[in-house]
Amino acid sequence: MSAEFLQFLLAGLTAGAIYALVALGFTIIYNASHVINFAQGEFVMIGGMTTVSLAAAGLPLPAAIAAAVLAAAAVGLALEKFAVEPARGASVVTLIIITIGASILLRGLATLVWDKKIHALKPFSGDAPIRIGGATLAPQSLWVLGVTLVIVLLLAWFFNRTLLGKALLATSHNRLAAQLVGINVRRVLLVSFGLSAALGAIAGILTAPITFTSWDVGIMLGLKGFAAAILGGLGSGPGAIVGGLALGIVEAMGAGYVSSAYKDAIAFVVLLAVLFFLPGGLLGRRGAERV
């Protein structure tokens, strides 16, 4: 029984780590601009697909990965410059529609640049399953969990110890005040998009050996990442991580113990229940609303 539980838990953590990375992407952009970037999932797709095609073209894997992350970041910057910035004064819903349009555009471009097939990456360190107390784990899962941890620590350092990071944080708390103290808000916006795109790309690359990648892999992951960000509390970095892991675990446990057909429904029911009792998400701000 407990070997089964451990198996479900490991599966949930692996999926959850990916959701957490995507959720972090949502959170960073949201904090800088109050925009929900529905194209976040496409960064995941770009990361995975670019790496696959570069690796197939002969580039050694680390170089392909670096290039893919840079490419995704570039797309993120372009998105901000050409789509979000011109529409800066518009309402939030309009901005959401713009990002939805962007995600459709990116998917369309993906089918032209690449193809409509599903692609796999070689696992970074082989396929031999690792046995842990009666359960098995794919080595790639360790990569996922490990790299996610490293990224979280790096981001914590970035936001708390570097000037740029602190500028991002300041903008998220109060944009006007940040401008007043001389922070270039426009640059902050650019950086957040670039950073979120890079995070999404890394998630896509980490998971491509396990879950494969294709031109439309971003849709579901984007949705789940958004759900995770909300679950943890929109705008909260730790919340994104907690939300991601929680979502992954709830899904796995739901599939394992309740019903695999309804597992997504179960996850959403849990999400709704959490929001019912904690309208700001698990770690969200629970302050008063300004009138």
Partner 1 sequence: MGALALVLAAAPFAFTNNYHYEIAILVMLNAVTCVGLNLLIGYAGQISLGHAGFFGLGAYGSAILTARYGWPPLAALAAATAGTALVAYVVGRPILRLKGHYLAMATLGMGIIISIILVTEERFTGGPDGMSVPPFAVAGFALAGERAWYAVCAAMLVAAVWLALNLIDSPAGRALRALHGAEIGAQVSGVDAARAKLAVFVLSAVFASVAGSAAAHYAGFITPAKAGFFHSIELVTMVVFGGMASTFGAVAGAAALTLLPQLLTVFKEYEMVMMGAVMMGTMIFMPKGLVPTLAARFAGGGRR
Partner 2 sequence: MLKRLAVAAAALFAFAGGAAFAQEPIRIGSFLAVTGPAAFLGDPEQKTLELYVEKLNAAGGVLGRKIQLTVYDSAGDAEKARAFAKRLIEQDKVDVIVGGSTTGETMAVVPLVEQAGIPFISLAGAVVIVEPVKKWVFKTPHSDRQACERIFVDMKARGLTKIALISGAGGFDKSMRAQCMQVAKNYGIEIVADESYGAGDTDMTAQLTKIRSAPGVQAVLNCGFGQGPAIVTKNYRQLGITLPLYQSHGVASKEFIKLAGGAAEGVRLPAAAILAPETLPDSDPQKKVLLDYKREFEGRFKQDVSTFGGHAYDGLMLAVEAIRRAGSTNKEAVRSALESIRGFVGIDGVFNFSPTDHVGLDVSGLRIFEVRGGGWTVVK
The Cα–Cα gap between 173 and 19 comes to: 24
Using CB under 8 A as the binding rule, whether residue 4 contacts partner 2 is answered as: yes
Using CB under 8 A as the binding rule, whether residue 285 contacts partner 2 is answered as: no
Distances (CA, A) of 254 to 99, 272, 281: 32, 15, 20
Residue type, 136: T
The Cα–Cα gap between 18 and 241 comes to: 10
Q: Which of 77, 147, 185, 219 binds partner 2 (CB under 8 A)?
A: 219
Using CB under 8 A as the binding rule, whether residue 287 contacts partner 1 is answered as: no
Binding mask 267-286 for partner 1 (x = CB under 8 A): -xx-xx--xx--xxx-----
DSSP state of 132: E
Q: At what angle do helices 185-211 and 2-33 cross, to 10 degrees?
A: 160
Which residue reads 């949502």 in tokens?
26
Q: Which of 1, 57, 93, 176 binds partner 1 (CB under 8 A)?
A: 93
The stretch near partner 2 (CB under 8 A) out of 75-83, 92-100, 113-121, 151-159 is 113-121
Closest among 42, 44, 61, 82 to 208, alpha carbons compared: 44
Count Cβ atoms below 10 Å from residue 149 Cβ, excluding itself. 12
Torsion of CA 23, 89, 178, 152, to 10 degrees: 10
The Cα–Cα gap between 267 and 225 comes to: 13
Using CB under 8 A as the binding rule, whether residue 212 contacts partner 2 is answered as: yes
Q: Which of 70, 136, 158, 185 binds partner 2 (CB under 8 A)?
A: 136
Distances (CA, A) of 122 to 128, 133, 148: 13, 26, 19
Q: Which of 28, 45, 138, 274 binds partner 2 (CB under 8 A)?
A: 138
**Between 41 and 243, whose beta carbon lies closer to partner 2?**
41
Q: Which of 44, 234, 240, 250 binds partner 1 (CB under 8 A)?
A: 234
Distances (CA, A) of 192 to 28, 101, 169, 186: 6, 20, 10, 10
**Residue 226 contact among partner 1, partner 2, none, beta carbon within 5 to 8 Å by kind:** partner 1
The count of chain residues that interact with partner 1, using the rule CB under 8 A, is 45
**Between 127 and 177, whose beta carbon lies closer to partner 2?**
127
Binding mask 160-179 for partner 1 (x = CB under 8 A): --------------------
CB of 220: closest distance to partner 2 in angstroms?
3
Binding site for partner 1 (CB under 8 A): 30, 36, 83, 86-87, 89-91, 93-94, 96-98, 100-109, 111-112, 223, 226-227, 230, 234, 261-262, 264-265, 268-269, 271-272, 275-276, 279-281, 289, 291
